[in-house]
Structure 1
Amino acid sequence: MTTDFSTSPFSGEQQQRLSQLLAELRTDQIYWLAGYLSAYCATPSERGAVPSAPEQTTSKPELTILFGSQTGNAEGIAEQLAAQANDQGIVAKVVDLADYKPKQIKQEQWLALVTSTHGEGEPPDNTLDFHEYVMGKKAPKLDSLKFSVLALGDSSYEFFCETGKQLDQRFSELGGTAITERVDCDVDYEELAEQWISKLLHTISEQSGSSGPTVSGLSSSAATATESTYNRKNPFKATVLTNQLLNGRGSSKEVRHIEFSLEGSGLHYKPGDALAVCPENPPELVSELIRALGFDPNGRVNLADDEHSLQDALTHYREITLLTPPLLKQWAELADSDELCALVSDTAELRRWSEGRDLLDLIRQWPAQKLTAQQLVDSLRKLPPRLYSISSSQAADEDEVHITVAAVRYSSHGRDRAGVASTWLADRLEEGAEVPVYIDSNKTFALPDNDETPVIMIGPGTGVAPFRAFMQEREERDATGDNWLLFGDRSFRSDFLYQTEWLKWRESGLLSKLDVAFSRDQQEKRYVQHCLVEQGADVWAWLNRGAAIYVCGDADKMAPDVHQTLLSIVSEHGNMTAEQAEDFLRQMNRDKRYQRDVY
């Protein structure tokens, strides 16, 4: 937005500073500032008088909100908390833990922490330094700290909400006072997060003696007035434009390129963001479940005060393909089974039994004789959206969004299984079908602001998706920075995803360097980390030129293997110890030059 200062009373330097500030502000911050200035200017009693600062009858509590996030959910909640806090007269600031100086915590009085857990109980990348400091021997006493923790996680993982649990306990050990109990949220977190925010703000106001807001103006809800009305609570029904198989003949995989129309949605995204797809459960599995339970598919059940048929509830609103520890614990009581109770108490054995099984397996092995349809749906968590890295740039396709989807199919325990969203997209959605979607922003996985910065993109399999978006974006922006892709899959002939586009970009010079690894095309398995080792000297040279590294794909094996390979490269070519190499990559992460989107 360009501002006309031709008739303003500001000096040139003031104009420059004001323009810079406005360019940095979010929409909600601009609306808040407008409301503040309106009240500020209304203070003088005499016309034309220079306004003085509003009188402060009582000091307002200052709340620091820290977030640790791998995908952006924690950041979104932190900003929601800040907006509501400011509406209630609590001075709140949101800080990314990557930008927070850990020693500052001893100066805090009111603190809210919102953090997810990454992988198997690990802190998110932007939380590593803070976590290490607080959990370590150098952590200070926090006797003056009043805090509250909201932990995000996925109950299907063994270390559910582990990072939040650890930091909550550690704050107390260091002398801090929990002003509200920690709340642990599953993938369906909105309702619990809203309750936590409400209780936290009420407690702070009560304990601090805050008298509420001192300025009038637009509330935080007005901040979204100019933004799209489509979000997680209200997804947009996007039309399928293209559903195309990417693999060649003879491939053992099924990867599809799917394009959706966003026309009329007002949705905006950037390379690195994800498209959230709200899927449907397989109709065959839903019908089989209802038959096994002996229920009427048209029987009525209540979901959040809305009435649905059982068939509709299990198809669109409830998770039935994944067994979580909370569900199994609840089912042990419903089935009144000592055997299942014993299994639930053994974490390792429960994990082993649950692998590759679903709700149908559970009810067949341990039927609940007196179960009602309402009890069934009440015991199941909501069907969560599935996130797919966006493989297009909106600068190139303004009204479209593309994703790259690998259809998941396998057999286990005597039954054929299928991924809920991937096979729904692959098998049951033809061109013209409508799919509920919204944009899931990811500020921790984004292109450099400087178009001259070289980038190294490591993305095997469907992990290549965001890098197609990166290349489209850099092409549209006429970016001059070098681009290097390292891609891997099973076979060159059938699994080189988007091959034509990569070769076109290499021929044009936009793609400066391309290295590939196809694991099944030779006797010895070959992966992207082998390419990295072979190109170690070049990797180090690019890093010395300020290159940013991006890794996308499998979190269980690929990402750790790539990380170890990068450590070896830095150690060998940078002449560093293992500890120095780890510090080097940690600093790259702080500088947002080493970013990962792994799942």
Structure 2
Amino acid sequence: MNWDNNTRLAVALLFVIGYLLMCGGIWWTRHRARKQRALLAAGDRQSWLIAYASQTGFAEQLAQRTVEILKTAGIKTRLAVLSDIDASDLEQTERALFVVSTYGEGAPPDNGVAFASKVVSSGQATLNQLHFGMLMLGDSSYSQFCGFGRDLTTWLKARGAQPLFDNVTVNSNGDTKKSLQAWQHELSHIAGTNDAPDWEGPTYQQWILTARRELNPGSAGNPAFHIELQPPHDVVADWQAGDLIQVLAPSDLHKPRDYSIASIPSDGSLHLLVRQEKHSDGTLGIASGWLTHTASVGAIVDMRLRTHANFRIGENRDRPLILIGNGTGLAGLRSHLKARAASGKATRNWLIFGERQAEYDFFHKEDILRWQDSNVLEQADIVFSRDGERREYVQDRLLSKASEVRRWIEDGAAIYICGSLQGMASGLNDALTEILGEETLARLTMEGRYRRDVY
């Protein structure tokens, strides 16, 4: 094709103009996107971020109540699980309230692990614009009391964030009512109101102790009891598998004790599996001693139901379940197996349970054998540490079944763990990390497929 100089010049100009228009279009698109992000960030900065990390559900409930108070005063809020937040979220936030509990000796709760590993560990956020308040929940019987809340506070300050007021600490072994009143006082300043609703939990009801039997007479361990309770005649008791109760012993009315529920409402009564605590001087634990020994059948028990969202079945209803526990931790697993049996669906269940000796410590043996016969339990590994030549625990059995664990997870299974924090919980976490890998276990936690009720 033969073009004269004028034609070549015209074509060149068209290319230049087209290129400039394309560049202008790209610039305008990016400019508009930046403007939209700026407007979104400005909107976020006008609201309060309420972030929580909760193991048993109590911190989550307090975060929700915090939102309710601020909304009543017309303040915009954004409620989020801590693990759903990243560094950029915090960098675009000017006002935040954190409600966090601590798991064991200073570790984050399961729904705070991702934040701790990805955001805190990176240490890259710049938070000079952030002002925050902190409500920390913990148990002073642990040496790292409120350890995660304190670590989070230190990290926020190191990144430039400024506290709005001194941290408020809730000690499960102390006066929780006074601590929560202190938090409400700070919220009242923020909301500009003094008529915040009462934050005391549901009132305690007078249930009746209707049955009690020892499950392990002759055991080398402390006695463990099956206990049944009936609600008052005018109360329709409703709970879900995985939930807890709080019990007030008559001699210790300010310190409720949590117990995992071992039954479902259709059983007709609420069941517990309680180990009798014995001190070195021979005296019994206040709550366990009262429930298992001092209180007579027919006695009144002051208690209330407590939702445990993190250990409910939730979105795992149709998934296979791997249920792992030891000792009285069988209670929380038993409630899930009862619910699965009652539903007549989702019968792919695998129970791994550990105790001392088969002769004495096979708790609820009849239930487990019946579930095996009826295929509610596809697989059951009952581990008795004192019966073999060498001691074997649930984490050891899990490691020996590594390929099966991986296959169940590939099939979509969720893992539920109930039992002792010391020894079992950490041992199982190490075993699962070895079997599945740290990234997979973190993903399961994020997806709600790795859930723990440990104490």
TM-score above 0.5: yes
Q: 1:589 — aligned with what?
A: 445
- Contact kept? 2:51, 2:63, Cα under 8 Å: yes
1:542 CA drift (Å):
0.4
> The residue matched to 1:417 in structure 2 has which SS?
coil
- Contact kept? 1:60, 1:91, Cα under 8 Å: no
- Deviation digits for residues 199-230 of structure 1, max 9, x if unmatched? 2341x357xxxxx8xxxxxx9969x9xxxxxx
Per the normalisation by structure 2, the TM-score is 0.84
How much is the aligned-residue C-alpha RMSD, in angstroms?
2.3
- Contact kept? 1:102, 1:129, Cα under 8 Å: no
**5 Å matches for 1:361-510?**
383-394=254-265, 396-397=266-267, 400-411=269-280, 415-510=281-376
- Deviation digits for residues 281-306 of structure 1, max 9, x if unmatched? xxxxxxxxxxxxxxxxxxxxxxxxxx
> The residue matched to 1:449 in structure 2 has which SS?
helix
Per the normalisation by structure 1, the TM-score is 0.65
Task: Rate the CA distance shift 1:239–1:175 in 2: closer, same or farther, 3 A.
Answer: same
Q: Where does structure 2 lack aligned partners over 5 or more consecutive residues?
A: 1-43
- Per mean C-alpha deviation after superposition, the further-off stretch among 533-542 and 96-105 is 96-105
In structure 2, C-alpha distance between the alignment counterparts of 1:547 and 1:459, rounded to whole Å: 16
Task: Rate the CA distance shift 1:132–1:534 in 2: closer, same or farther, 3 A.
Answer: closer
Q: 1:339 — aligned with what?
A: none
Task: Rate the CA distance shift 1:484–1:258 in 2: closer, same or farther, 3 A.
Answer: same
- Contact kept? 1:77, 1:193, Cα under 8 Å: no
Task: Rate the CA distance shift 1:220–1:266 in 2: closer, same or farther, 3 A.
Answer: farther
Q: 1:247 — aligned with what?
A: 216
1:99 CA drift (Å):
3.1
1:97 CA drift (Å):
1.7
Counterpart AA for 2:374: S
- Per mean C-alpha deviation after superposition, the further-off stretch among 249-258 and 584-593 is 249-258
In structure 1, C-alpha distance between the alignment counterparts of 2:270 and 2:197, rounded to whole Å: 27
Q: 2:40 — aligned with what?
A: none
Task: Rate the CA distance shift 1:529–1:133 in 2: closer, same or farther, 3 A.
Answer: closer
- Deviation digits for residues 312-362 of structure 1, max 9, x if unmatched? xxx344xxxxxxxxxxxxxxxxxxxxxxxxxxxxxxxxxxxxxxxxxxxxx
In structure 1, C-alpha distance between the alignment counterparts of 2:47 and 2:188, rounded to whole Å: 11
Which one of the candidate residues 172, 178, 197 is aligned to 2:184? Answer: 197
**Which one has more relative contact order, counting CA pairs under 8 Å at least 6 apart?**
1
**5 Å matches for 1:80-99?**
80-99=65-84
> The residue matched to 1:505 in structure 2 has which SS?
helix
Counterpart AA for 1:407: Q
In structure 1, C-alpha distance between the alignment counterparts of 2:397 and 2:432, rounded to whole Å: 11
In structure 1, C-alpha distance between the alignment counterparts of 2:347 and 2:374, rounded to whole Å: 14
Task: Rate the CA distance shift 1:481–1:453 in 2: closer, same or farther, 3 A.
Answer: farther
- Higher radius of gyration, 1 or 2: 2
Q: 1:149 — aligned with what?
A: 134
- Contact kept? 1:567, 1:582, Cα under 8 Å: yes
> The residue matched to 1:592 in structure 2 has which SS?
coil
In structure 1, C-alpha distance between the alignment counterparts of 2:208 and 2:202, rounded to whole Å: 19
Counting aligned pairs with the same residue, the percent is 31
- Contact kept? 2:320, 2:414, Cα under 8 Å: yes
- Per mean C-alpha deviation after superposition, the further-off stretch among 420-429 and 449-458 is 449-458
Q: 1:272 — aligned with what?
A: 242
> The residue matched to 1:193 in structure 2 has which SS?
helix
- Deviation digits for residues 527-580 of structure 1, max 9, x if unmatched? 11222122221111101101001111111111111111112222xxxxxxxxxx
In structure 2, C-alpha distance between the alignment counterparts of 1:426 and 1:205, rounded to whole Å: 46
Counterpart AA for 1:554: S
- Deviation digits for residues 457-478 of structure 1, max 9, x if unmatched? 0011111111110011112222
- Contact kept? 1:271, 1:447, Cα under 8 Å: yes
- Contact kept? 1:83, 1:220, Cα under 8 Å: no
1:429 CA drift (Å):
1.6
1:132 CA drift (Å):
2.9
**5 Å matches for 1:256-267?**
256-263=225-232, 264-267=234-237
In structure 2, C-alpha distance between the alignment counterparts of 1:99 and 1:496, rounded to whole Å: 41
Counterpart AA for 1:525: R
In structure 2, C-alpha distance between the alignment counterparts of 1:590 and 1:73, rounded to whole Å: 19
- Deviation digits for residues 44-102 of structure 1, max 9, x if unmatched? xxxxxxxxxxxxxxx99411111111111111111111111111111123212233344
Task: Rate the CA distance shift 1:518–1:271 in 2: closer, same or farther, 3 A.
Answer: same
Task: Rate the CA distance shift 1:198–1:60 in 2: closer, same or farther, 3 A.
Answer: farther
In structure 2, C-alpha distance between the alignment counterparts of 1:60 and 1:266, rounded to whole Å: 44
In structure 1, C-alpha distance between the alignment counterparts of 2:219 and 2:258, rounded to whole Å: 28
